[in-house]
A and B are shown apart, each in its own frame.
Chain A
């Protein structure tokens, strides 16, 4: 199979290498963060903490007496060999132990929202591009309003309306409201995306030829839409899906704070405000890693689905990044 050709292998190795370099960069940034605190980092850290740690302990914990490359090396070794990222200032528990349940909560929230949002977005996008019923006229309005509704305003209002006035869901601590809020904004993005791409594929460019040919052969209209205009654009959509999956961990941060959902985002914001540096570092590492891996996964999926993109560099806007 062409799958195992040498060039494919080479390309795979190269993309694996560039991914590892990106991940290493993220690790370096998260570790050097502490050293860039203005003034003497250890005493500056202690100033904002309400705990009985000593300056020596912090200096020792972050290896602040050693040059940065040596401490980086020690940290990398500790992380790779023992899975050790230090202990939280506040709870004194290992950082990874703190993060793990939070990450699972965030993944639950974001995957559910992504599923609902993408499904809704594809449906609305097809309706809009095909101009079905009178209903499609409301779709552009919906996307325009959703694109300009600030989440810190929409979240509380939704919680008030659905949670207090109508009393359908728990206003905080429940998964339904954050999922709805997140899914609404995701679906608006996907509606716009699907509409633009479907419109292009139905009315512009070379794809119109095979669409017209299919219609001429008497293929049913729903099949024309699905097979001849939606299927050809799926590779590019997969790439954007991957990027969005990676970015969603960060994308759900605000929602988690709004609805008191005990995910990674609320942990991140709390530890930034409480100056719990070991936790901040780990949160940057985890969310950055998720973003890099998501983008890479999207690229790989696109290259598997669309042979033409295997040799070419995938432009940033096809990865949903521009």
Chain B
């Protein structure tokens, strides 16, 4: 019963925050209001979250930034999941030596820390959206592909897949009918974790200055601003960091519950 309450709270927070961030993206502007920039950082009743260095309302900034960060992380997750599924399944159908090579390459990339890969990409490409996207994908794709590959290899040995092959079913048919349907729940259980990882990685990389281009509002750039003005205007740090923490906490709570249900259905 207690578990259910936390799940409800987590989903309420996520939907509520997303609706607010969509509203802020549609109806508030990110133009500089330099007359507001000279206001005292003290909070007032009219504007209880204060203004940032460019005179923008902090809460609106955070909402707009989180919309960009959330949709960016979601894009990265979608691309990584589709690529890794495609890669994982197609290697299983390929000859033995190719499978082995793919495995070695994947394990090599899994072994290298994501931040090192991200910094390497940034060194070549320069900071920017494409660098950020590539870095996020490189961070999650190898381990996902490895997971899909090992599960597919198990599935291909199962009786029903063998039977389908013996009956002359094509590879596409087996993939669509048997493999994808068994892999989907596995990936669904992994999804929240991957999403949280991407969200955190975006914030970290942008914070370090190798992610989103300067002047863009994302969670990372707002955290960096919060750090710069921590003593003068601590509300920027609080209003940028707290929602991010709550969002990550909610995503992880939902992920844990999903994972537990998954295990239960496997056992049953």
Contacts and interface: CB of A to CB of B under 8 A. Distances in A.
Given A37-B124, A157-B237, A288-B112, A269 B204 contact: no
Interface residues of B, number: 43
Contacts of A62: none
A295 B223 contact: no
Contact of A321 (B111, B237, B240, B241): B111
B224 interface: yes
A275 interface: yes
Given A153-B240, A153-B245, A160-B231, A251 B210 contact: no
Interface stretch (A51-59, A140-148, A207-215): A140-148
A284 interface: yes
Contact of A148 (B110, B123, B248): B248
Interface in B226-268: 226-227, 230-231, 234, 237, 240-241, 244-245, 248-249, 252-253
Given A144-B249, A288-B112, A292-B111, A150 B210 contact: no
Contacts of A144: 249, 252-253
A149 interface: yes
Contacts of B120: 29-30, 33, 280, 284
A291 B112 CA distance: 6
B146 A153 contact: no
A85 to B, nearest CB: 15
Interface of B: 107-108, 110-113, 115-116, 119-120, 122-126, 143, 146-147, 196, 200, 203-204, 207-210, 220, 223-224, 226-227, 230-231, 234, 237, 240-241, 244-245, 248-249, 252-253
Contacts of A292: 111-112
Given A164-B231, A277-B123, A250 B203 contact: no
Given A150-B203, A272-B210, A251 B245 contact: no
B241 A153 contact: yes
A253 interface: yes
Given A33-B124, A291-B111, A292-B111, A153 B116 contact: no
